[in-house]
Every structure is written in structure tokens, then in C-alpha cells.
Amino acid sequence: MKRTLLSIIAIIALSMFSFGQHWVDQGFNWTATSRGVQNISAVSDQIAWAAGYDGSGSAAACQDVAVTSNGGTTWTAKKINGVAGVSISMITAFDANTAWCATYKVTGSINAQGIYKTVDGGSTWVRQGTAGMFTGSASFPDIVYFWDANNGVSMGDPNPANSKFEIYTTVDGGTTWTVVNTANLPTVSTGEYGYTSNCYVVGDHIWFGTNKGHIYHSPDKGLTWTAVAPVGMTGKNTWPAMKDALNGFCMKYISAADTINLLDKTTDGGATYTAFTFNGQLFNGEMDFITGTASTYAATGVDGTYGDRLGIVYSWNDGANFNSIDPDLQGTQVTTQTWVNDSVAWAGIFNTATTDGVKKLTAPAVPAVADFTANATAIAKDGSVVFTNISTGNVTSPCSYSWTFQGGTPPSSSSKNPSAVVYHTPGTYNVTLKVTNAFGSVNTMVKNGYIYVGGVGVGEASQANIKVYPNPVKDIMTIESGSGIQQVQVFSITGQMLINQQADGKTVTLSTSLLKSGVYFLKVTTDNGSFDKKIVVQ
């Protein structure tokens, strides 16, 4: 029997975790519960359409759609009228009034399935195409996509008579659909078929996956097609996800545990793929590149077979790591996702009432970048330092912080901006900050040798073989050492380096005439080590 994702039924409707609430519930106003979201077509940050399916386990026919023109503040529920025996494979939209749906027969006549269009916001729908379009005994419409108001493509499962996928294109909004010449289509494998809503579009390019491990690609809005078999995907379900016309991935999706993390990469638009090794845990629902970002992918988890892979997981570095599991969605079956950019997105879930069914993003999905400054980086023994957190990627989101202060008291902190840290022992010390943001992104900054702690102060005795005079000083200071002097540095009390003078001898003359009156820290590096001293400039 032809498969759809209707085998993915509602088992968990709400996240088991609570973190940042950067995803909020919106309601489609669908009256039936356990409705899954087949796909969401976002026209802009304000206009989006959604298509539903029956996730109760009975795989009943479902014609539910919904549309918003205000970013999801309100969704208007609609149905494809007059065709009670069909379900929706995919929805694609042009504006708040115009949308198309690919539908397949669940009960009744196969002549009812096909492509339907609305021009009045979903109130009425009209079947497009000729009487023979998607009405063969093996026909099953999987995909419909429109680039604009006129140019579109639709794809259905192979015709047994010619062993080619049934694909049509239109240049007039679907008034007429033209079947793609079979000479422009690869021959399918035995038993091969496509999947509902399984396609990816970048510019004029469109890709779709199959159950036999192939990725089909058209560079010209569906007029001509090629097919390749990505490495290790033979006989497996495939999902394409492209960053641009050349670079992207093929993921095995809705799959068995033995190869659940299977991922291939392409750099030539899908002409070839190579096996790709990554760190972390790849969810196996959908995978999408987040438009407008440099390197962010998001993968959804919906299959309840894998309870630890429900929600959304992010890769911030072109797929190298999939280890940022979104805490706000962890444990929630996410049936689909659509990203306008990293700040505007919707994630489809199973509804429990008219007031839910989709999650709307409320904060930018960005990686955490840990960083900090200090009010001083060179201090005297028993001095203190105040650290300021300047991390990014988490300004609008709750975060956790983990500080480590080598040689400091206290030695650690979980505050965003910790209280003053005291250093009792001279030396050079590292400072570490680990930040986790609301999207599960973790980043660590280590500043090696960041804090320099000197001697006990102005009244200390000189080391036996080093002399510093005069101190206090007005304009010229002399430093003498029994061993060779390599470097002389002067720091302000806030840690700013003001003088950095290289040396090669046992006596150095240091000009302080450009320094304002006050207290400074002197650091002398010799062949036998370093020497610290507080000096006063008059």
C-alpha cells in the first residue's frame, strides 16, 4: 500500500520540558483533534498556509487547511470543499488568497484526487488539469509547488506503463498543466515512489527524494530531471536539504535505528554525494537550511519510535554538529517546519484543541557565542577583578552560565555577571565562560593567561638582583638586573597595557613622561623569570 506520513500518529502533543518559551502556541481552529500538519507554505513573515492530516491512527481523509495574514495571531480554518474522500499531500501558496493543494484518494473515486486551487482565501477550491491528470490506477500526487502566480510543478508516483514519475508543469497558474516528456525523466527502480511534501526548492531548482534512496533534481522548474543514488542510501528513504543551488545534504528520514544518522553531502547541486560524518544526534523527520543564515540547519523529529529524537535539533556549522536540541520543543512531535529566516518560523505539531496545532518562533534561533571582559587584567596580590559578560546569541533568551576562575576566589560562578573575584597568589591565570542559550547551543570561551597577579604592593622589598628607581618617578625610571632584561611593561590599574618595551641588556631606561600621575603596575621579564612591582608616577 502506498505510504504517507500518516503512519506517524500523535503520541505526545506537548513538550515535556520547559525552558525559554521562545516557541508559542497558535491555533488553526481545526475542530478535530490529533490533526498533524502536513506542511506549511510561508509566503512572508505575515502570510502562511497550512495543510492538515489525520494523526489519530485511523488515516481518515482530511481536507483541513488554514491561512493567516497576520503572522499567525489568527488562523482561519478552511476545507477543500466537495471532495470528502481525499487527503492533502502538500500545500503551496502565492498570497493570502491564492494557494494550491495536491490531494490523494483515501475513499471514493480516484478521479477526485489531483491539484486543487483557491483564489478566495480557501473558501472555494477548483480541481485543475485534464481528466487524465493523476487519475491512473497507480497515480498518487505527492508534490505541488509554485514559484510565483504562474509557474508551478506537480509530481506523482510512477506510471507503471512507462516506469517514469508522473510530473506536470504549468506557466499559467495551473489553468493548463503539461505533462513532462518522458525523455526528460529517468527510469525508476522497481517499486519506487515519492513522499508527500518531500521536496526542496532553491531558485529554479527543485529536488525530491524517494523510497529507493534516489534524489531527483530539476534545474529548470521541473522541465528536465536527473536522478542519483547518494552513498549508502540504496533502498532507503531520502530527504534533500539544500543551502543553495550547489551545497546541501541528503538525509535518511523516517527510518530504522540501524542507520538513523545517515547523512550525505553534495557540493554540485546533487550531481554527486559523499558520505558525511558529523557529531551529535540527527533527527529524522524533515531537514531544512534556515534562510538568511550562514550555516544553520534544523532537523525535526516526529517518529514516536525514537522518544529521544522528538522536537528540533540545530546545526550551527554546516552540519558538522547536530547537538543543539531545542529545549522548548524537546519531547514534542514536530511534524513539519518552515523558516522564513532565523527569526520567523512555524513548527507543526499535533493539535489537542482549536487553540494549538502550530508553534510560532518568538526569538532569533542563533548560536551562543561566549565572551567577556574584565575591569582589570593585571592586579596586585589580594586584588579583585569584576568580569562582564558580553556573550551574544542569547540576548533575548534565558541562558545558563558557567564561569571558572583559575586561582580566584570564588573559583566558579553560575551568574550572568559574577561578583568580584579575588586573587591572593601572584601568577598568571585562565578564565573560562561556558554559555548555553535557549536553543540548546553551547559555546565556551577560554582566555588563557588572562589575569596577571603581581606582588604585594608599593612597600615591598626588591628582588635581590633587581633595582627600580626612582619610585615614585617623574619622567625617567631606571631598571637594573643581575640577569638580562628581555621586556618591560607598564599596566594601568584597569589592566590596560600602556608601555611595552623590548630590551636586551641588564639596564633599561624607561620614560614615564607621557603617563599621567597615578599608580601603575610594572612587569619586568628577565632571563631568570619575571618581576612585578607597583610604581607611582608623579
H helix intervals, 264-388: none
Give dist(CA 68, CA 46) in Å, integer. 7
The amino acid present at 520, given as its one-letter code, is: Y
175: left (phi over 0), alpha (psi -120 to 50) or beta: alpha
Please identify which residue in the block is written with the cell numbers 558520505. Answer: 275
Give dist(CA 134, CA 472) in Å, integer. 94
Helices and strands (DSSP H and E) totals, the chain: 0, 45
Distances (CA, A) of 308 to 12, 283, 411, 440: 12, 9, 35, 15
Q: Which residues contact 288 (CB under 8 A, 6 or more apart)?
A: 200, 241, 297, 298, 299, 337, 338, 339
Please report the domains of the chain, with CATH numbers, ordered by start residue.
5-361 (2.130.10.10), 372-453 (2.60.40.10), 466-537 (2.60.40.1220)
Per-residue pLDDT of the chain (538 residues; tens, 9 = 90+): 344 554 555 554 444 444 457 899 999 999 999 999 999 999 999 999 999 999 998 889 999 999 999 999 999 999 999 899 999 999 999 999 999 999 999 999 999 999 999 999 999 999 999 888 999 999 999 999 999 999 999 999 999 989 999 999 999 999 999 999 999 999 999 999 999 999 999 999 999 999 999 999 999 999 999 999 999 898 888 999 999 999 999 998 765 555 567 899 999 999 999 999 999 988 988 999 999 999 999 999 887 777 778 999 999 999 999 989 999 999 999 999 999 999 999 999 999 999 999 999 998 999 999 999 998 887 888 889 999 999 998 655 668 999 999 999 999 999 999 999 999 998 889 999 999 998 989 999 999 988 988 764 333 334 557 889 999 999 999 999 888 999 999 988 767 889 999 999 999 999 999 999 988 888 888 887 777 788 899 9
**Residues facing residue 297 across a β-bridge:** 289, 315
Name the nearest CA neighbour of 247 among 295, 299, 186. Answer: 295
Given a contact cutoff of 8 angstroms between Cβ atoms, the answer to whether 138 and 164 are in contact is: no
Distances (CA, A) of 494 to 100, 374, 386, 413, 446: 64, 8, 10, 22, 20
pTM over 0.85: no
